[in-house]
Amino acid sequence: MTRPNAPPFAGHIGLTRETSTPHWPARPEARAHGPNIVIVYMDDMGYSDPGCFGGEIDTPHIDALAARGLRFNHYTTHPICSAARAALLTGMNAHAVGTGWIANNHAGFPGYSGDLALDAATLAETLQAAGYATAAIGKWHNTPTVESTPSSPRHSWPTRRGFDHFYGFMEGEAHFFFPAHVMRGEAVVEIDTYPRDYYTTDDWTDEAIGFVKNLRASSPDKPFLLYLAHNAVHAPLQAKPADLAKYRGRYDAGWTSAREERLRRQIEMGIAPPGTRLPASDPRVPLWQDTDPADREMLSRHMEAYAAMLDNVDQNLGRLVAVLERLGELDDTIILFASDNGGTDAGGPLGMFNNYRRFMGLPNAPIEQERAQACDLGGPKSASLYPTGWGEVSNAPFPSFKTYSGGGGRRVSFVISWPARISGHGTIRKQFVHVTDVLPTLLELAGVAPLAQVNGLPARAVHGMSFAPLLLDPSAPSQRTEQYYEVWSNRAFYRDGWLARSLQKRGDPINLDNWTLHHLDSDFSESRDVAAQHPEKLEELKRAFDEAAWSHFVYPLDNRDRKGKFTDGPPDAHARWDRPRTFLPGAQTVHRADLFPLIANRSYRIAVHFAQRADDTGVLWAIGEPNGGIVMWIENQRLMLHYNAFGDRQTVTGPMLVPGEHIAVFDYEVQAESRGRGRLLLDGAQAAGFTDLSPPMVPYGIFEGLDVGLDRRGPVLWDLYDRHGSFAYSGDIGEVTIEPGARLAG
């Protein structure tokens, strides 16, 4: 007699063991001797930055990877981080899987949800099903911010998309010395104070090495996928002191000569063909000799920090490779090194000491202040971004930048190594490939078939085309002959050596007709517009773009600035943030997505209930990090508050406290766009009158949320951190309540 609804069993169950036949289901096993796969993915790194692509930055381990493998000089990407990562992980065009822009918000259109489509099988899901161990470490920017909180649905978290192991952050960027909300698996790593020598690139690499060592201690033969996604060299540009010191003075000659020298080296090494010329510089980039001599030390310091960051990545790549070599697995490990997109122009003509001012719509700090702070550029007190001129150097020999469809945004360096299989070590492949082609290529090399089903759904066919034949045969033709590109209304279409592109000025009405045409077979660097000579070719490519755009959910185009795009959301998105919220001590940092809607661009009150003894000191509550934020604390028996508006700082001094129970209130009143004031109340009475505290907080540009009873991780006020570290309050805190008020109109 069988038990009702019993699961199928291939053996036989009798009354006793002697009359029964056991059966063990087969475990998924990877193909015998399947290669390990390591993807080292950079963030905002330009085409020419590594030494093996013409850069002067010291990258011996990246260069050695190229010497053991191949470089591709016509590899292209979707020119913004979330989109490129979505395409890398799924083998599909980014808009088609909901990630046409960054993943932070949902625009209400199919191509712009920020969520990876559940029926698009990721590389990790496919390899995991084939018996691979899988790990994602570092930056994961493929989950909307509002779905990254402890109470969020988790279908788009890395551990739900095929990765056995995740260690890193689910945001677009992070402070390199004080990253907010680092996670292991699906839990926040509980840390109050980072070691003084902490640095994210080192931490990610330590974790990657630990993953490999622990796997080998458990299983000596199981192949693995390691997706090591760096936040370097994305803003904020921050580097370790020794790495900064190494580059001191190296960029004093300026960006004009640096760009020319990179092209010269590219031609010498065969990355760029003879006769390649530099396109005209962006109008925002003066010749170095035309810059103000008083600014040049500051301008050079920005690039020193950037170079030091890449140098550190290279050092850490060397550590990882050394472990693979010691295990005897380097020859049979596929290592891929690339970037999500090219270098950025967002720092503006002079760069910024605090890059996050642009999120607030604020101008640069006064130039005298920027110059005075140059000595701290690249350190933990800064949150800098280099000037546009250095972005142009990074992207040499191409024009334009990240988020644009010119070569500077689309084309990035690409290195792949597999010594056991790839011959022609150190050579350059000139065939055209795209980021969507990586997944099918790696699956073919690993001998793993695409999934038929994923997440209970029929798996979509990928858009990518394997370029595995190009790895083994330098004369093999490009499998891909065409590709569309679109980011932030900047469009392009490539077909058979021809490129049409349309670049927009951010925030302006979209010009649908300002296309240029470039024949890349004769103009590697896109330096000449030949639309007037080939109008029929331009019309052909414009039609091709339109067809691709409709079929991949590219439309509607949206050229609004960051502030406009970041406010997208369903019409009822604000409703849940219009009532008071209470936060208790002893919990982890409140996620910024659960906090900032209560205080961003609106009036509010933050009240803290606490019991004070005569000698109690410490932080009552803190919001934010060195980039910006607010902290209330007690020191020398006095109530204090510091308001850090992205470098515009004010300290409000409150009254002396007597022992007993108190309620301290920070009362903030938004007055107009970028204007607000605040005061302190103690036990219902005004303790410090209204002070101009402008601008109001915004829901972006600050990555750390609310701490109750201490200032974890990144300090809002550096002097306080120097004196006391995270400065936990020594008395008793009952609760912190935030009462949201009126929003800024519009």
**96 and 111 Cβ atoms separated by less than 8 Å:** yes
Tokens of residue 56, six digits: 């002067």
> Per the structure block, which two tokens stand in for 567?
């406010």
CA distance 679 to 684: 12
How far is the C-alpha of 665 from the C-alpha of 609, rounded, in Å?
9
Q: Which of 235, 259, 253, 249 lies closest to 378 in space, CA to CA? A: 235
C-alpha–C-alpha distance, residues 226 and 39, integer Å: 6
Q: Is pLDDT at 674 greater than 90 in this prediction?
A: no
Instruction: Classify strands 36-42 and 224-229 as parallel, antiparallel or unpaired.
Output: parallel
- Residues 552 and 281: their CA atoms lie apart, in Å, by 33
Q: What is the CA radius of gyration of the chain?
A: 27
At 208, which helix (H) or strand (E)?
A: helix 200-218
Q: Is 670 helix (H, G, I), strand (E, B) or coil?
A: strand
Residue 46: closest CA among 535, 507, 399:
399
**270: nearest Cα among 59, 469, 71, 417:** 71
The chain-wide mean pLDDT, for the chain, equals: 95
Residue 1 has pLDDT above 50, yes or no: no
- Residue 179 host element (H or E): none
Report whether the peptide linkage leading into residue 695 is cis, meaning its omega lies within 30 degrees of zero.
yes
Find the range with the poorest average confidence among 31-35, 62-66, 315-319, 708-712.
31-35
Q: Where does the pLDDT of residue 264 fall: very low under 50, low under 70, confident under 90, or very high at 90 and above?
A: very high
Closest among 498, 504, 502, 489 to 536, alpha carbons compared: 498
Contact 122, 88 (CB under 8 A): no
What pLDDT was estimated at residue 564? 80
**312 CB contacts (<8 Å, ≥6 apart)?**
199, 201, 202, 232, 239, 240, 243
Distance (Å, whole) CA 174 – CA 230: 10
Rounded Cα gap, residues 225 and 333, in angstroms: 10
User: Does residue 576 sit in helix, strand or coil?
Assistant: helix
CA distances for 43 relative to 186, 274, 304, 343, angstroms = 23, 29, 17, 9
Nearest by Cα to 391 from 371, 406, 375: 406
Quickly count helices (H) and strands (E) in the chain: 16, 29
Report yes or no: 57 and 310 within 8 Å, Cβ to Cβ: yes
Lowest mean pLDDT segment, chosen from 32-36, 289-293, 582-586: 32-36
pLDDT in tens, 486-520: 999 999 999 999 999 999 999 999 999 999 999 99
What's the helix, strand, coil split of the chain in %, to 5? 25, 25, 50
pLDDT digits (tens, 9 = 90+) for 225-261: 999 999 999 999 999 999 999 999 999 999 999 999 9
Query: Rounded mean pLDDT of 667-683?
Result: 94
Q: Amino acid identity of 335?
A: I
Q: Which domains does the chain have, with CATH numbers?
A: 36-474 (3.40.720.10), 486-565 (3.30.1120.10), 575-743 (2.60.120.200)
Q: Judge whether residue 702 has pLDDT over 50.
A: yes
- Confidence band of 602 (pLDDT split at 50, 70, 90): very high
SS3 112: strand
**pLDDT at res. 746:** 58
